[in-house]
Structure 1
Amino acid sequence: MAAVNAGTRPAAHKGGRYAVRLAWAAGAVFWGAFAVLEAVNHGVLAGLFAVVFLIAPDLTFLVAVRDAHTTRPGQLPARAVPYYNAAHRALVPVTLMVVYTVASLSWAPLFAGLCGWTAHISLDRALGYGLRTKEGLQRD
């Protein structure tokens, strides 16, 4: 069995990473299309919620905007990390969708917003952006 250099990843791991990113991309297309469908079927308010929830997870950067000058490029200020990570965990909107379904809620704008939020997270993962370390750096 060949040894792997410390700075490189095995080819199989890289291929697996691409497959995961492709799956996240498919999820982004699905949830984005679902948000658009909800907007078309239920009107402007549903579309507005979908767009707002699509953008909102990245507004967590504003929590520590005054600390941005203390970080390196690509690093999130440590104070914003818990908010960023909470808003970028796929389990949160998916759990809320399950609650929405089980509780027999029927307000379409909320569901459209959850679809937009899930699309945002899926697109981030497809592009290689994930959760952050407590120092604000991208996790591998």
Structure 2
Amino acid sequence: MSTVATPARTRGSRRTLTVVRRTAWLAGALFWSAFAVLEAVNHGWLAGALALVFFVLPDLTFLVALDEAPRMEKGQLAPRAVPYYNALHRAAVPLALVVAYTFGPVAWPPAFAALCGWLAHISYDRAFGYGLRTKEGFQRG
């Protein structure tokens, strides 16, 4: 009996892991979206507006190198925009800010709503298979 996995079994395991991982990200996305809406309902239009702005903001990083867009391959982000894109698509940053908000002296609900919107964006991206970019601007494997 061999302990070496066959390639087909390995691919099946990877697919299963991918489905589980994306499902977990989708659950997180729905959680953060609901939390952002709750904050908007409880704290007014400013909380809702900031949640929406921070939900959209991470994808606006392509504007950093809009002039390079015609020369890029399909699915490629301009290398000049990659550091900005990756910085705004790391979940650790808004999660750390949520923790700091929770235990810190700042108590401004619109800021928390913005963080919820930001985390929702990152979570939806991961759930749908979009992650960080390589330095050349392509999706990481």
| TM-score normalised over the length of structure 2 | 0.94
Q: Distance in 1 between matches of 2:58 and 2:18?
A: 24
Hey, what does 1:10 align to over in structure 2?
11
Give the distance between the partners of 2:10 and 2:56, measured in 1 at CA. Answer: 33
Quote the Cα distance in structure 2 between the aligned partners of 1:2 and 1:100. 46
Is it true that 1:102 corresponds to 2:103 in the alignment? yes
In structure 2, the CA distance between the partners of 1:106 and 1:67, relative to structure 1 (3 Å rule), is same
Q: CA deviation at 1:72?
A: 0.3
Take 1:54 and 1:24, find their aligned partners in 2: how far apart are those partners?
Answer: 15
Out of 8-17 and 124-133, give the one that drifted further: 8-17
Matches within 5 A, 1:47-126: 47-126=48-127
Unaligned 5+ runs, structure 1: none
Shift in alpha-carbon separation, 1:136–1:38, aligned structure 2, 3 A = same
* Aligned pairs, number: 138
Q: Displacement, 1:101?
A: 1.4
Deviation of 1:49 (Å): 0.4
Change (3 A) 1:2 1:28: closer
Say whether 1:139 aligns with 2:124.
no
Q: RMSD over aligned Cα, in angstroms?
A: 1.4
CA shift for structure 1 position 69: 1.2
Aligned mates of 2:62, 2:31 — CA distance in 1: 26
Give the letter aligned to residue 4 of structure 1: P
Rate the CA distance shift 1:71–1:9 in 2: closer, same or farther, 3 A: farther
Give percent identity, aligned residues only. 59
> Residue 116 and residue 2 in structure 1: after superposition, are their counterparts in 2 closer, same or farther (change >3 A)?
closer
The aligned residue for residue 130 of structure 1 is 131
Q: How far apart are residue 4 of structure 1 and its match? A: 2.2
Moved over 3 A (4+): none
Gaps of 5+ in 2: none
Separation of aligned partners in 1, 2:97 and 2:57: 16
